[in-house]
Amino acid sequence: MLDQLTVLAIEIIHISPKMVLGGAAAVDLAVEKFYEKVLADQRVQHFFAHIDMHQQKQHQKAFMTYAFGGAPHWDGRPMREAHQNLVAEMG
């Protein structure tokens, strides 16, 4: 969670939380660590068995960049829509 001074700085000088949190390098590291843990977890790793992980990581990085305010729009589908078939087929 961002402290009040950081939030105020973001509002005053219009910088994105992504920039405050470490920029693209922080997003890259977070995504790499996330998928490292996901792929090692037997409970969920099967969801990614036939996925191009390079492409998946790039997609996730783009989403997180948008979510943290570092991109003006998101070109991907809404999360519920994007995962609908996955949930129906694999639970």
Alpha-carbon gap, residue 1 to 5, rounded angstroms: 12
CATH architecture of the domain covering 4-90: Orthogonal Bundle (1.10)
Phi-psi region of 23 (alpha: psi -120 to 50; beta: other; left: phi over 0): left
Average pLDDT over residues 7-11: 53
pLDDT of residue 4: 58
Each domain of the chain, given as residue ranges in start order, spans 4-90
Q: What is the pTM of this model?
A: 0.71
In tens, the pLDDT along 37-58 reads 889 999 889 889 999 999 999 9
